[in-house]
Chains A and B, each alone.
Chain A
Amino acid sequence: MESNLKPSSETEDAPIAELREASKHYGAVVAADGLNLSIRRGEFLSFLGPSGCGKTTALRMLAGFEAPTSGDILLDGQRVNEVPPHRRPVNMVFQHYALFPHLTVAQNIAYGLRQRRPRPAEGEIARAVDRALETVRLPGFGPRRIWEMSGGQQQRVALARAIINQPKLLLLDEPMAALDKKLRRDMQIELQTLQRSLGITFILVTHDQEEALSMSDRVCIMRSGRIVQMGSPRKLYDRPASRYVADFVGKSNFFSGRVTAVEAGRTELAAAGGHLIAGGAPVEIAMGQTASASLRPEQIALHRKGAGGNTLPVTVINRIFLGEHTEYLVRNTDLGEFLVLVSRQAEAIEGEFEPGDQALASWQDGAALILGDD
């Protein structure tokens, strides 16, 4: 790769790329606001957030299409703020692939190698292209024209065109957005396998939480130009730092209220109607503060009868059969509607609930999380 970057810190634990207080302003609009992030060598990292949260800006700053207004971008320990994209050892898979329509599949894939100086021999390029086509499972498609390829195939070509350059970072900008659901699932698995076998650091931008959670080693949740929380998918799911994250990562029910007790490992919240909900607080919350109790639908069970704490009388409103699970929408007179996910086994014991049935919703002590509203 043509580059003015000297390999400096090739040690295993030195980050391959870093954002340091990186901000990007477009006039009065703040697209990225003091991003701090250290990307590990060989990891699969996702930027997750709604559109306009700054995830694409972060990606484009790493690629070199945008220079940060303030702060620094580092690649392999070197500051690259002013290095143009064509001198960065980084490649991107564009959202709509941006394949060259006037070139064949093979010519598209060879494009990066042909830009190198000194230019590799044609035979060498041809072999590399064949290998790349094998890798993305499109052997023999080299002579085809771009428009002869389906959406999924075009995506593989875009992937091959990027990985052939063996970039330090492979940036993927919503690469699955244009694929249908079935194909997207296949491609996700394939991408993940590919990332492991190539050992290239992948950075994915997506607004699809399922995609981010299923593929990434770490997910970086963004909102209005800032990183809200960062961690492994499991950590984000189990210990969300805020209601925003809990809402974005998986489904959850939220009950707003005021914090009435804070003890070691146990925070209590008084929700509407005086219902007390207790649980852990991943981020410390002060007494008297307004907050939300988050309960995942699968953490709630439905019973016909019973008693005790953590129990709410509810009316079943709706039922959706999901195969392995059944999702019930229930209503409590004080707390309103919420979702309950009941497994097949649980249903075998309690039987199916019909809309209109009275039931009791309950959860285990400590299942709830008390999260700050932001």
Chain B
Amino acid sequence: MQRQDLRTWLFLAPAGAWFLCMLVLPLIVVFVFSFGERGPAGGYVPAFTFDNFLNLGARWAAFKNTLILAPIGTLICLLVAYPLAYFLALRSSPRWRTLLLILVIVPFWTSILIRSYAWIYLLGGQGIPSLLNALGLGNPRLINTPFAVLVGIVYGYLPLMVFPIYVALERLDKRLLEASSDLGSPPWRSFLQVTLPLSMPGVATGCMLVFILLMGEFLIPAMLGGGKVFFIGNALVDLFLQSRNWAYGSAVAVALVLVMLVTVAAYLRLTRRWAGGRDDVSLM
């Protein structure tokens, strides 16, 4: 029995050490720093003050952009991904399915940086706007707008949304749809009453994955938002690397973590309800 315990601990040790060094300790450091002050030449000077938190309003624009664009981006991802996942799981022929699934992840084989450059060109003056202009549809400004950031988000995060939904739909017992039909439900109502509720765990997982990553996103807003549409991630980069105000940066980071915790808690509550109070259903 004791040997069993020892073995368990040994197996857990690498992951445990990693968690401790890479997650718990840095979080403690950030938390402690958030009550400190900026040194004369930047960096951190120990102190105990709430000034950093009281000052969070100065970065309100970053919070606002993140809290508006992250949910909208997640929602658009969902709306694009669901029909795609539905087609892949329930309508495509099994012969093509694997190929189609690979096509969904193909963009991941290239760095997001390079792909974002491509979007800079596409959305920039010589890209889509000039094309629209040539067609006499005006010359809209696309790059450096929230729209450009959303395009980048949907493009970059779509596979993360498609896969969990695909798995949920693929696992769906097709006989349930027959049962629904047998009991008098036309196909569209079967979708609403059976397919959709039973794919909710996949939807929730996809939304959580995309949303959490989006809350910390900084590359897409930096490249496609051109400093006009910036996220908390961009504010953090700016605070730690440019203004070197580590204490204030830590306070912003702590605030971000708190927002995330609230969101995840809400998510767990919701998914528990979707799973009908069943605890043994894995949703992540």
Interface residues of A, Cβ cutoff 8 Å to B:
1-2, 63-65, 84-87, 90-92, 94, 96, 98-102, 111-112, 115-116, 145, 147, 161, 165
Contacts and interface: CB of A to CB of B under 8 A. Distances in A.
Given A96-B175, A100-B176, A102-B197, A165 B183 contact: yes
Nearest to A164: B183
Contacts of A145: 276-278
A111 B173 contact: no
Nearest to A60: B178
A98 B173 contact: yes
Given A65-B178, A96-B175, A98-B178, A161 B276 contact: no
Contacts, number: 64
Nearest to B274: A102
Contacts of A63: 182
Given A94-B175, A102-B276, A2 B184 contact: yes
A169 B181 CA distance: 15
A161 B274 CA distance: 22
A167 to B, nearest CB: 9
12 contacts: A84-B186, A85-B178, A85-B181, A86-B182, A90-B182, A92-B182, A98-B176, A98-B179, A99-B179, A145-B278, A161-B183, A165-B184
Interface in B176-202: 176, 178-187, 189, 193-194, 197-198
B190 to A, nearest CB: 8
Contacts of B175: 94, 96, 98
Nearest to B179: A98
A101 B198 contact: yes
Given A65-B182, A145-B276, 6 more contacts: A84-B181, A85-B178, A94-B179, A96-B175, A98-B179, A100-B180
A104 B184 CA distance: 19
B30 to A, nearest CB: 41
A100 B183 CA distance: 12
Q: Is the interface of A mostly helix, strand, loop or mixed?
A: loop
A115 B184 contact: yes
B58 to A, nearest CB: 46
Q: Which of B186, B187, B277 has the most CB of A within 10 A?
A: B186
Interface residues of B, number: 22
A216 B189 CA distance: 36
Contact of A112 (B183, B186, B187, B189): B183
A108 B179 CA distance: 10
B184 A94 contact: no
For the complex of A and B, list the 7 residue pairs with the smallest distance between their C-beta atoms, beginning with the closest: A115-B184, A112-B183, A98-B179, A98-B175, A85-B181, A115-B185, A86-B181
Interface in B132-185: 173, 175-176, 178-185
Nearest to B190: A86
Interface in B193-232: 193-194, 197-198
A108 to B, nearest CB: 9
A115 B197 contact: no
A77 B183 CA distance: 22
A188 B189 CA distance: 34
A84 B182 CA distance: 9
Interface in B24-64: none
Contacts of B173: 98
A53 to B, nearest CB: 21
Contact of B185 (A65, A86, A99): A86
Contacts of A161: 183
Q: Which of A65, A84, A101, A161 has the most CB of B within 10 A?
A: A101
A1 B175 CA distance: 21
A96 B183 CA distance: 16
B278 A111 contact: no
Contacts of A99: 179
Nearest to A85: B181
Contact of B186 (A86, A91, A101): A86
A90 B182 CA distance: 7
A202 to B, nearest CB: 15
B34 to A, nearest CB: 43
A147 B189 contact: no
Contacts of B181: 64-65, 84-86
Contacts of B187: 86
A111 B180 contact: yes
A1 B276 CA distance: 29
Nearest to A110: B183
B184 A100 contact: no
Contacts of A85: 178, 181-182
Q: Which of B184, B194, B277 has the most CB of A within 10 A?
A: B184
Contacts of B186: 84, 86
B178 A111 contact: no
Nearest to A90: B182
Q: Which of A85, A145, A165 has the most CB of B within 10 A?
A: A85
A84 B181 CA distance: 8
